[in-house]
Chain A
Amino acid sequence: MTLATLQTRLTCPFCGPRHLSEFVFHKTVAPPNASPFAEVYERIDNPNLSIEHWQHVRGCRSWLRVHRNPSSGSVLEIHLLGAAI
């Protein structure tokens, strides 16, 4: 494993690749169709895929759904939150 694969940038669908410090992490999403209780307290515990909500706060302010591999630190996909999947 080399350093080059670890990311300190996220690619915003609007703004392109920007430094991580422009983004704020909000939460790891719950399993789909979770009950309100599960929504708050349950998480998908997958070492290879974490689905997270981030906001490009110091940029265009869009909310993003980020798919990350926590084991390798790599970002797999980024979508606008709320957009059709």
Chain B
Amino acid sequence: MKVAVVGLGTMGKVHADAWAHIEHAELVGVCDLDRVKAETIAESYDATPYQDLSEMLEQSNVDVIDVCLPTYLHKENVALAAQAGKHVVCEKPLGLNVQDAQDIISVCEDHGVQLFVAQVVRFFPEYAQASAKVKSGGIGKPGVVRLTRGGGFPRAWEDWYADEAKSGRLILDSMIHDFDWLRWTFGDVERVMTRRVSRSDEDRPLEYALVTLRMEDGTIAHVEGTWAHATFHTSFELTGDKGMVVHDSAVSAPLSVSLHHNEGDASKNGVAVPESPLNENPYLRELKHFAHCILTGSEPIVTAYDALKAVEISQAALESAKTGQPVVLAKMGGGVR
């Protein structure tokens, strides 16, 4: 199976590296507007560099295109790949809104290619384990579940994350991970209420949101999303009438390195750098799973429809942030399918 990655920023690099470690996959092409990025990465993995997706589609004989472009570019580029008859892996969020996500699914269906969306949290072992624990009755009837995700404000190519029209900012870009996990674990969302604050001060933009969701099964969820903290962390607390599961990335890191005085760099003095190594990181697990599904035709752990529903929840949360009132999902444009 021949694979090519388009968009070689933070995620594209992670995906390229993962593909290079998958047995039945061969990373043949990498594509980025930035020629230096494309060439550097191509060299590390013995792939061919491209600067233009159409050119890569014509010249390389790939089976799968992995789209790691900024969110607002997913739609047109997935369409190019699908029209060329390639299976598609696409980074989350699938689209900027329900309409875009639906269009992306349709274009893949129309051209008979498979579509996999990288809702990677389902491949984080702590999240997968907790979901299974809840589903097997481990906490009994769920009560209130609390999730936290975030760190600093993301800075990337052309500062596209800062533009809500390009990224959906915090709620669509980051909190979608927890929304998808909630729906995977508890089922569909009934209504969602958002409180959001943002500051776009010169060099220190911030965004922070507290979202309350009522799931159709009655579970109450509280999701904290932050681009206002100094370091990245995730946590969850899942309570039910028969138990509670708690996780905090700041507490569970098994390895921490802290160095004495660094010559020439006293600022790093004594700062502990925690790590949580795994034999296979979640991105590798995810892409391995998608490769397996492509080769065997089996149903993925996360379907394109799941990805669409996650966009729908995020869109409702964004709407609530604007109106200050809860948004009922079934009432949103008649709901999705």
A and B bound? Answer: no
Residues of B within 8 A of A (CB): none
Residues of A within 8 A of B (CB): none
